[in-house]
Amino acid sequence: MKIISFLFVMILSFVKVSALVPQISGQNLGYKLIYAVEVLDDRILIAGYQKDTTGHFNHGIVKILQNDELYQLPDSIERNGKNEPIKINSESKIKIDSGGNIWLSGDVVYTFRNNKWYEIDFDDKYKEFRRYKQMAVDNYDNVWVTSEYFVSKSEHKSEIFRITDDKIELVYQNDFSDGLGTIGISNNLIANSDGTVSVFEAVVVNEKNITDTLRNQLLTISQDKTFERIPIYHENTTYKYFTLKNSGFLRETKDKIWFFNQMKNLPGMDLKACCGGLTLLENNEWKIFKEKDGLGKTIFNDSHFPVNSLIQLPDNKYFITGFGFYEMGEDMILIKLDINKVFDNSLFIPVNQNYNKETLGDGFRGFYDTVYLNQLRLPINIVKIDSENNIIIAFQFGILKIPVDILSTVDAVESVINLKLFPNPVNEIITLDFTNGFNNFTIYDLLGNSVLTGEIKSGKIDVSSLIRGFYSIRLYSYGTGSFQHIQFIKE
């Protein structure tokens, strides 16, 4: 509680928001877009921008949401006797250290203390070109931040800095000017519980020149600035490849790392290592989540639905966001939740008055379609739990607060569909009483092995090739990601 009082002494002005109710309403956060969010106890720190009369579309505005009240911090910094706007970018992040100091990445690294903003910048010939992006605060209150600058094709680099007692040092630098493509530091920087920090170092290549020499790795940096690298790649019999968009990762322990991705497979790619929509590296063994694990396929290049984030819940469970919301238990099976019911029991706070129930559609379904199908405003990479046991999901156009307790009351997508098959037992042809949009199937034996897959045609499935025994058939839809399990006996 000491940090809370310290913060609120600092705040110069605030805008009070009336009591929020668990539905979309006229109340909003007063932004054009949100770029970064951090959760600490019952506070949500928000960094976004507003369109103003000066034309600064990247004019950063920082607000704190606490107890249904919204407080705005000063939106300018003093330079050479003049007040200039805080400048941020779409990859900016906001953090808070143990002393209550707020940190914000942008054109420089900003820190808010003693009622005003200060700036920290690495002083070299590239400082005017540099943009600071990902950020993390480690166990020792060091601030780590990634950056990138582009001057020309031969002067294009990504970097990692560490700030200790307001002194900034370059820890790692990486050259973008590889002949076959570019190498950069991707959209995640995490402070680990052991005092290290990790970043996913992604490779962007010319797809016509794919070779085994391209680097793609998880980079972990210790306090003594030593490095540990874990190679990350997609592999088939002819080449290694990388994920086109890594959404992030969670280093649960040193030997248990989750990767979640939005990816596009190349035709014919057989994933043997990282990364599908969701992948787990545990004790040097890869597990790629597929249909049998509850992660459906898209209609594009045989790829699986994207996963944006994953967070640990009590009772050894996980909450996962992607093409919908999922819950996963110790059996490692993703159960897709009814999105409308989640949304109806949650609180959504939009960025401005343009996002309301009418513009977003009927419940979360319209909201969800707007986000993922039109790619209007993709989620920013944060899912955390606050001190009131709410899951906080930050989107560029709003914040969703989901009470953890409601998840146990929300039906899975599977449970709202009542499908039957006949005859059962069956000898040759299974007939479904109705398909309800399901267009593909996978059949598993008692050991969980996939023994038959294919498309559902006219509500019939030929199982004549199977040997006698007990089986489970999983029906799923490319369009919605919904699924259904039914058991049957093959004579």
Q: For 407-434, how does the pLDDT look when each residue is reduced to its tens digit (9 = 90+)?
A: 877 766 553 345 678 888 999 999 887 6
Average pLDDT, the chain: 75
**Which of 323, 270, 331 lies closest to 301 in space, CA to CA?**
270
Same domain, 429 and 369: no
Same domain, 258 and 201: yes
**Which of 411, 446, 470 marks a domain boundary?**
411
Residue 438's domain comprises 417-490
Q: Are residues 428 and 313 in the same domain?
A: no
Q: Which of 5-9, 305-309, 355-359 has the lowest mean pLDDT?
A: 5-9
Residue 436's pLDDT band (cuts 50, 70, 90): low
Q: How confident is the model at residue 380 (pLDDT cuts 50, 70, 90)?
A: low
Supply the pLDDT for residue 399: 86
Q: What is the pLDDT of residue 216?
A: 65
Same domain, yes or no: 390 and 455: no
Instruction: For residues 402 and 426, state if they share a domain.
Output: no
Lowest mean pLDDT of 22-26, 185-189, 270-274, name the range: 22-26
482 and 406 both lie in a single domain: no
**Same-domain status, 343 and 479:** no
- Whether residue 402 sits in one domain with residue 457: no
pLDDT band at 345, cuts 50/70/90? confident
Q: Which residue has the higher pLDDT, 440 or 214?
A: 440
Q: What is the domain-level CATH number for residue 471? A: 2.60.40
Q: What is the pLDDT of residue 208?
A: 47
Q: Same structural domain for residues 128 and 262?
A: yes
- Percentage of the chain lying above the pLDDT 90 cut: 26
Number of domains the chain contains:
2
- Shared domain for 110 and 235, answered yes or no, is yes
At residue 4, does pLDDT exceed 70?
Answer: no
| Residues 423, 400 share a domain | no
CATH number, domain containing residue 124: 2.130.10.10
Which of 372, 393, 411 finishes a domain?
411
The predicted model gives 377-401 an average pLDDT of: 77
CA distance 334 to 339: 14
Per-residue pLDDT tens over the stretch 197-243? 998 776 554 444 444 444 567 889 999 999 998 877 654 434 444 44
The pTM score is 0.75
What separation in angstroms does the CA of 50 have from each of 57, 86, 314, 398, 473? 7, 11, 37, 14, 51
Same domain, 372 and 480: no
